Amino acid sequence: MNRRTILATTTALLGLALQPALAADVPEGTELADDQTFSYRLLDQFPTLDPQLNEETAGSHVLRQIMEGLMTQDAQGNLRPGVATGYEASEGNTVYTFTLRDDARWSNGDPVTAQDFVYAWRRAADPETASPYAWYVELTGMKNAGAIVAGEMDPSELGVEAVDDHTLKVTLDRPLPYFPAMTTYATLFPVHQETVEQYGSDWTAPENYVGNGAYKLAELSLNEYFKLVKNPEYWDADNVVIEEVEGLIINDSSQALTRYEAGEFDLLEPLPAGSYPRLKEQRPDEAISVPRLCSYYYQINQREGAKEELKDPRVRKALSLAVDRDVIVDQILQGGQLPAYNFVHEATAGFEMPELDYAQMTQAERDAKAKELLEEAGVEDLDLKLIYNTDESHKQIATVLSQMWKQKLGITTTLENMEWSTYLDVRKAGNFDVARSAWCGDYNEASTFLDILMTDQEQNDGKWSNAEYDELMKASKTSDDPAADYRQAEQILAEDTGIIPIYHYSNTFLLDPQIKGFPLQNVENNWYVKDFYRVKAD
Amino acid sequence: MYSFIARRIAIAIPTILLLIVFSFLLMEAAPGSPFATERGVPPEVLANLEKKYGLDRPLIERMGIYVWNVVTQFDFGPSFKFKDRTVNDLIAQGFPVTLTYGIWSFVVAVAVGGTLGVLAAIYHNSWLDYLAVGISIGAQVLPNFVMAPILVLIFTLWLGWLPGGGWRGGQWEYLILPVIALSTSYMASIARITRSSMLEVLNAGFIRTARAKGLPMRRVILRHAMKPALLPVISYLGPAFVGMITGSVLIDVFFSTGGIGQFFVNSALSRDYSVIMGITILIGTLTVTFNLVVDILYAWIDPKIRY
């Protein structure tokens, strides 16, 4: 987004505020079902419903229903007003002033004020809270966030201020054009100060919970289920159609499928690995595949002390060229994933795909080029240790990939799998040659991907380092045309083969066709039940 | 008798303490951290987390504080993963669930298994015997991880009679499938053990004497055969009971009961140290306690045992 689009968006948003905002957009003449409920399966229990302590997707899904941030998203993933009716960006995207609607209320009837946001955001950064997502506040670039998280400054110094009850002023220490988009994430949701202070950590229990979302928490039994009911205090409650939301925790994916088939719930996500083609055939109206803002790739260890061969860009390029992505996508995954030659998911908002030379080649050409490069580098005998976390599809991909390298390049690969926590430990310590990795966007903008490959980034475990790339990414923050910078960064990444991109994710799920209003165009796969409605069965 | 019990308790306490120390050390040795994420936690955030959970202190100090809190206040500390819950909260939610369907499973396994075994022995080599043996072998080769999906397929998907999972405060329709799935293989073992020990007793000299005296069959079995025949069964029931009430991890996970087994597995995977410790101690203590109970029962039933 450049400044002009930001301005345009701002004006559009301020304009939007004047229109009545509709939650569920039910077309005229639709016959609604008598029973307006929505239920879905969760793979795992979310650990908490405290917005500032939450760190998991499952928890974020629930928090989006029971809390509301300054901005929210529509079915396409575009920003739309939440508690804020709009915002104004000034001083080169370093100061944002949000105007809060005056009819926003907590589920206990109290008004939602700018002070509630200030309290919540300071709480997220406060070391006392020990939020595992405190880094998110730093990521927003809010003034002093880093020092506060490190315990060097008082939380009250955070760059956020309640000018009055309905005006929130945010000061950043660097320009961030996508700041408003970041307010859609749970860490920046408000909390009800009185409730948090009165009950301490028990405030998230259903009997104490005070939220400002379209729904409120009614029941919660860990590892079993939870239930939300419509919140009559919600400012747009008149337009909320679904009355009750239920989440069932089912760890086992084939058990989840059986229970979906028995009609126990409406949305099953994710599907058991490899089951999509069969389900699509059996239930064409229900099986759905949409792009998902995540990228699957292999990191190559280029640290000090790593294999010398891997520090040669020609060898890395050869490894990448020899990977036949179509085989992985079409024969192993089969769920609408896209073969990847670059890092940023191609459905990312505002991202223009770079034209990469090796993406245009046929696989035969790529293989020939790979052999050529390897010969040029003079590599004859190479044995690589490939690590991945235990999972059926990671295993299949690693196996196929190691066969490709063996057959085409004569490179031997030793596969090592370990369960998640151990794998992270080993990966962070750099005890690998090649490591299976994946990254999901924190917000819908290309920098969420490209930033993590900068030299000093925590997630860059292979420690690929390219000064030109780093410079470019730094410059993109204040650039008028970041999209061009991103394209160029991808070029550098591909030329130097910093990583081996493999595929761009899709999300496959089964959805009861009676449920309408599900956002299929939102690549972050964020959904708000207040937009749904259930139609009568045919 | 009392000194026997006192002695056994005196051994049980250090056993549990050793269990605590070993679990603590093993957990410490396992790679991975409860705070690890793909993103990687920035050092200052990690420092805050470690401080909050006391991980910045030396191992010995942590272990000392932990044991002290457990022994004096039954306080297992806060969960690392469920950030707004304590381990006591989690056990308070999960254990009653597991206990409920565990006790039901135990009752079903003993009632059905015991009856089958006794009948099979009495009507040895009749069709009833073959039927009972057939059922128990069948049940034995269908362990709960096979039983559970089959039951759900039949009763949930095809017949639509029962829910495929959940607990909802322990309503009866949510209880049936977990109880059947959990009790089947225990039932089979109990039937087999009862049958063979009953057969052995029925062929013993003192039973022949009793029958020669002209005592009615019912009296022979209830008065003379039952008690000695139950001995091997009882030694099996102790561990079986603990096994059932501490839940099968599989049943909890498969039926999403919210029982203790799910917490146990998840905490091990996410390195939720305090939850792993809490549940280990709970299960360990129950095991030690029920073994003690079994030993006492054994001594009471079998006069040959001296204490």
- Reduce the secondary structure of A405-434 to three states and give it as a string: HHHHHCCEEEEEEECHHHHHHHHHHCCCCE
Would B49 be classed as within a structural domain?
Answer: no
A356 and A428, same structural domain?
A: yes
Whether A488 and A518 share a structural domain: no
Q: For residue A299, what is the enclosing H or E element?
A: strand A287-300
pLDDT score for B215:
86
Number of domains in chain B: 1
Residue B219 lies in a domain: yes
Spatial neighbors of A119 by CB under 8 A, at least 6 apart, are A190, A191, A193
pLDDT at position A245: 98
Interface mutation vs chain B, best among A53, A223, A420, most B CBs within 10 Å: A223
Q: Which structural domain range is residue B229 located in?
A: 96-258
Please state which of the ranges A465-474, B24-33, B178-187 shows the lowest mean pLDDT. Answer: B24-33
Nearest to A250 among B35, B51, B165 (CB): B165
Classify residue B8: in a domain, yes or no: no
User: What is the nearest CA distance from B160 to chain A, expressed in angstroms?
Assistant: 7
Residue A227: closest C-alpha in chain B: B168
A224 and A314 assigned to the same domain: no
What CA–CA distance (Å, rounded) separates A391 from A400?
A: 14
Task: Say if the Cβ atoms of B40 and A258 lie within 8 Å.
Answer: no
Q: Does residue B166 lie within any of the structural domains?
A: yes
Residue A174: phi, psi to the nearest 5? -150, 155
Candidates A199, A219, A224: best to mutate against B (most CBs of B within 10 A) is A224
What's the pLDDT score for residue A8?
42
Predicted pLDDT at B307: 55
Shortest distance between the Cα of B206 and any Cα of chain A, in A, equals 54
Mean pLDDT within A303-329: 95
Give residue-wise pLDDT tens across range B230-274. Answer: 888 888 888 888 888 876 788 999 999 999 998 998 898 888 989
The CATH number of the domain holding residue B132 is: 1.10.3720.10
Confidence of residue A75 (pLDDT cuts 50, 70, 90): confident
Do residue A420 and residue B85 have CB atoms under 8 angstroms apart? no
Q: Does residue A385 sit in the same domain as residue A490?
A: yes
Binning pLDDT at 50, 70 and 90, where does residue A191 land?
A: very high
Q: What is the pLDDT of residue B278?
A: 92
Instruction: Say yes or no: A387 and A349 in one domain.
Output: yes
Q: What is the pLDDT of residues A386-433, one digit of tens each?
A: 999 988 889 999 999 999 999 999 999 999 999 888 898 899 899 999
What value does the mean pLDDT take over residues A289-309? 94
Q: Is the pLDDT of residue A6 over 50?
A: no
Report which of A357, A344, A360, A290 is spatially closest to residue A317, judged by C-alpha positions. Answer: A357
Does A147 share its domain with A58? yes
A58-62, A124-128, B138-142: which has the minimum mean pLDDT? B138-142
pLDDT digits (tens, 9 = 90+) for B57-100: 898 898 888 888 888 888 999 998 898 899 999 999 999 999 99
Residue A363 is assigned to a structural domain of this protein: yes
Share of chain A above pLDDT 90, in %: 78
Task: Verify that A517 and A459 share a domain, yes or no.
Answer: no
> Containing domain of residue A332, as a range?
291-506
Tell whether the model's pLDDT for residue A339 goes beyond 60. yes
CB-based contacts of B234, cutoff 8 Å, min separation 6: B294, B297, B298, B301
ipTM: 0.87
CB contact under 8 A, A130 and B165: no
- Establish if A192 belongs to a structural domain: yes
- Domain CATH number, residue A458: 3.10.105.10
Question: Is the same domain home to A341 and A485?
Answer: yes
**Could you tell me if A231 and A345 lie in one domain?**
no
**What is the domain count for chain A?**
2
Residue of B nearest to A452 (CA): B39
**A137, A130 Cβ separation under 8 angstroms:** no
Position A25 in a domain: no
pLDDT confidence band for A11 (50 / 70 / 90): very low
Secondary structure letter of residue B170 according to DSSP? G
**pLDDT value at position B218?**
85
Q: Is residue B28 part of a domain?
A: no
How far off is chain A from B277, nearest CA to CA, in Å? Answer: 18
pLDDT of residue B306: 63
Residues A521, A470: one domain?
A: no
For the segment B209-220, what is each residue's pLDDT rounded down to a tens digit? 988 888 888 888
The angle formed by the CA atoms of residues A253, A258 and A263, to the nearest 5 degrees, is 120
Q: Specify whether A187 is located in the same domain as A229.
A: yes
Return mean pLDDT, chain A: 91
Q: What is the CATH number of the domain that holds A46?
A: 3.90.76.10
Query: Are B152 and A48 an interchain contact pair (Cβ–Cβ within 8 Å)?
Result: no
Q: Give a yes or no: residue B230 inside a domain.
A: yes
Is residue A487 in a domain? yes
Nearest to A224 among B41, B85, B167 (CB): B167
Looking at residues A181-202, what average pLDDT do you find? 95
Measured in angstroms, the CA of A91 and the nearest CA of chain B are apart by 29
Is residue B202, in this structure, part of any structural domain at all? yes
Report the chain A residue with the minimal C-alpha distance to residue B169.
A221
All residues of chain B having their beta carbon less than 8 Å from the beta carbon of residue A250 are: 165, 256
Residue A525 lies in a domain: yes
Residue B305: inside a domain, yes or no? no
Which residue type does A206 have?
A: P
Specify the pLDDT at position A24.
Answer: 80
3-state secondary structure (DSSP) of residue A273: coil
Residue A7 has pLDDT above 50, yes or no: no
This prediction's pTM: 0.88
Instruction: Inform me whether the pLDDT recorded for B176 exceeds 70.
Output: yes
Residue A65, min C-alpha distance to chain B (Å): 20
Specify whether A59 is located in the same domain as A99: yes
Q: Would A30 be classed as within a structural domain?
A: no
In a domain, A266, yes or no: no
